[in-house]
Amino acid sequence: MFWYGKRWKKGCLVFLAAAALLAAGCSIETTNGAKVADLDYEIVEEAQIPEEVKAVIEEKKAADFKTTYELDGDLYIVRGYGEQETGGYSICIRDLYLTSNAILFDTELVGPRKGEQVSSGPSYPYIVIKTEKRDESTIFE
């Protein structure tokens, strides 16, 4: 029984050491929202959206989604607002800028104006912007 106890203690020590090493590798990265620089971008028209990006949009468009896609040195940032009951929605870009460790992309869904003629079927509003590829992660506001 004494031998089993020592073996059990060694096993526990090895487990605790491994857990400590794993925990040391994990961290929470905070984002300082202070603007470092504005980013140049262009809104990508539907006909100019790369097929790879279109496929991602088609797959996710029914629900609210936020995604990025890197292609040929460019970063495509896509924000979709899911299924809406009617047409007439637009998306306003509030801001796109660089912080010390992230790209911040802030948009707003704007509904149809009162009395505006809109299509009666559902719509799936989204926006695609293209900017220079960067290493920072993208934060959607």
pLDDT in tens, 99-111: 999 999 999 999 9
Q: Is residue 38 pLDDT above 60, yes or no?
A: yes
Measured CA to CA in angstroms, residue 48 lies from 22, 44, 82 at distances of 44, 6, 21
Res. 20 pLDDT band, cuts 50 70 90: low
Q: For residues 56 and 69, what is the distance between their CA atoms, to the nearest angstrom?
A: 9
List phi, psi (to 5°) of 60: -105, -5
Name the residue ranges covered by the structural domains of the chain: 30-140
Q: Please say if the pLDDT value at position 133 is more than 90.
A: yes
Q: Which among 32, 118, 43 has a CA at the least distance from the CA of 79?
A: 43
Q: What is the pLDDT of residue 89?
A: 95
Q: Which pLDDT score, from 0 to 100, does residue 81 have? A: 98
pTM above 0.85, yes or no: no
24: region left, alpha or beta (phi > 0 left; psi from -120 to 50 alpha):
alpha
Task: Give yes or no for residue 23 having a pLDDT over 60.
Answer: no
Residue 1 has pLDDT above 80, yes or no: no
- What value does the mean pLDDT take over residues 79-107? 96
